[in-house]
Amino acid sequence: MAKPFLLGVLGGMGPLATLDFQHKLLAATPADNDQQQLPSVVWNVPQIADRQKALAGSGPSPLPQLLHGIEKLNQAGASHIVIPCNTAHHWYDELSAASAAPLLHIVEATIESLLNLPHKPQRVGLIATQGTLDAGWYQRGLSGQHIDVVLPTADELAQWFVPGCYAVKRGALREGGELLTRQARALLERGAEQLLLACTEVPVALEAVAAPFLSMTHDPAQLLAQRCAQIWLEYRHSYFAHTQSNNLNK
């Protein structure tokens, strides 16, 4: 048998987004009892330096603290590690190189899921931090599938996205939801058929205000949780088959 499955979650970015991801893991995992649920160990330490400020050159790099979290998750026995923060994937290569456990990439899980949609959209609006937008991960992935990407303008990011995101971080979910709803509507008005909520604070905020277009959105954190659940179910099936075979041979 392979190493026992234990999902490591490098969280704290922000802490509410990490809790939301844990809830998404539970929702994505079919289980009849506690023992069938996905096992995880979570590093939910919000003192990690601000990712947006670091990439903007106005704050320290979070990399040392991220590496510390990766070290702790490996020490805890994680077989796989995920990062429920899109912007933190800027340091994915360094974190992956430092980890014995493989890191699942949130963008790869998202694009893979979009490919399986019964009706692939032609134009997708992308809601994300400036750092994620500058990295171009989602734009390249979507363009590679011949999907046009509608991006926020600089004014929209300054007026709606950034203050909306930080409102969520301080617990003002309704304020954040109202601001991020304006950002979402602007992308829809410019022709986006569906929205990719590529910042883990955004789905929490939009749900808080019951945004009417939620059915038109895709949440990378949820899609990542579904990928984790799939890996766990494959392991659980293999473990059950292996255990059953051993019992028969006794």
**Annotated catalytic residue 228:** no
Annotated active-site residue in 95, 111, 133, 199: 199
Q: Taking the chain, what is the end-to-end CA distance rounded to the nearest angstrom?
A: 18
User: Going by C-beta distance under 8 Å and a sequence separation of 6 or more, which residues neighbour residue 244?
Assistant: none
Instruction: Round to whole Å and give the CA distance between 223 and 47.
Output: 26
Three-state secondary structure string covering 138-173? HHHHHHCCCCEEECCCHHHHHHHHHHHHHHHHCCCH
User: Going by C-beta distance under 8 Å and a sequence separation of 6 or more, which residues neighbour residue 183?
Assistant: 127, 152, 156, 160, 161, 164
Distance of alpha carbon 154 from the chain centroid: 23
Annotated active-site residue in 13, 78, 85, 147: 85
Tokens of 177: 């939801």
**Annotated catalytic residue 85:** yes
Residues annotated as part of the active site:
85, 199
